[in-house]
C-alpha cells in the first residue's frame, strides 16, 4: 500500500465503480451512491479484514498466514500514512453518500452500518483480535 500510484489507483477504482453504477438506467442517484458505498465497504472488508495470509509464498515461514492484510500492512505499525488514508477514504465516501441521499433515513441506516463494518476492524485496539 506504499508503492507508487496505488492510492491513485484505489481512488480511480472507486470512481470507476461509481460510474458503472451510475450508468444503470433505472437506478436513481441516491441508490447509486448507497450502492457505491456499500459495495466499496464490502470489498474493503473482504480484502482487508477477512482474507488471511498472502496469495503467494513468503519467506517468513508463513508467519503472516494468520494475519489479515490490514494487520500485515507496514509490518503491523499503527497510524502509518497508508492506514490513515484507508481509514479516511470510507468516511469521506460516507459523507458524500449521506449528502447525495439527502439524509434520507433508510439510506442513512444502511450506510452507517456499512461504514462501521470497515471502521471498527481498523481500530488499533482490535489489532490481532479475533
Please check whether residue 85 is in contact with residue 72, taking contact to mean a CB–CB distance below 8 angstroms.
no
Helices assigned H by DSSP within the chain: 6-22, 29-44, 69-72, 81-100, 105-119
CA angle at 54 for the pair 42 and 65, rounded to the nearest 5°: 105
Please check whether residue 32 is in contact with residue 22, taking contact to mean a CB–CB distance below 8 angstroms.
yes
CB atoms inside a 10 Å sphere around CB 56: 5
Q: Does 77 bind other proteins (CB under 8 A)?
A: no
Q: Which residue in the set 22, 88, 95, 126 belongs to the binding site for other proteins (CB under 8 A)?
A: 22
Q: Which residue in the set 39, 45, 53, 80 belongs to the binding site for other proteins (CB under 8 A)?
A: 53
Choose the binding region for other proteins from 21-29, 91-99, 100-108, 121-129 (rule: CB under 8 A): 21-29
Q: Which residue in the set 15, 28, 42, 62 belongs to the binding site for other proteins (CB under 8 A)?
A: 62
Q: Which residue in the set 14, 15, 18, 24 belongs to the binding site for other proteins (CB under 8 A)?
A: 24
Return d(Cα 112, Cα 96) in angstroms, integer: 12
Q: Which residue in the set 15, 28, 42, 65 belongs to the binding site for other proteins (CB under 8 A)?
A: 65
Least distance CB 105 / other proteins (angstroms): 27
Q: Which residues of this protein are in contact with other proteins, per CB under 8 A? A: 3-6, 8-9, 12-13, 19-20, 22-25, 51-62, 65
Amino acid at each position: 500500500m506504499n508503492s507508487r500510484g496505488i492510492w491513485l489507483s484505489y481512488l480511480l477504482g472507486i470512481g470507476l465503480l461509481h460510474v458503472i453504477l451510475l450508468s444503470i438506467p433505472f437506478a436513481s442517484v441516491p441508490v447509486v451512491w448507497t450502492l457505491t458505498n456499500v459495495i466499496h465497504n464490502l470489498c474493503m472488508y473482504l480484502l482487508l479484514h477477512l482474507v488471511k495470509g498472502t496469495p503467494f509464498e513468503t519467506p517468513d515461514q508463513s508467519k503472516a498466514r494468520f494475519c489479515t492484510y490490514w494487520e500485515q500492512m507496514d509490518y503491523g505499525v499503527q497510524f502509518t500514512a497508508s492506514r490513515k488514508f484507508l481509514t479516511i477514504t470510507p468516511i469521506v465516501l460516507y459523507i458524500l453518500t449521506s449528502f447525495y441521499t439527502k439524509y434520507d433515513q433508510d439510506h442513512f441506516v444502511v450506510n452507517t452500518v456499512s461504514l462501521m463494518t470497515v471502521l471498527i476492524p481498523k481500530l488499533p485496539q482490535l489489532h490481532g483480535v479475533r
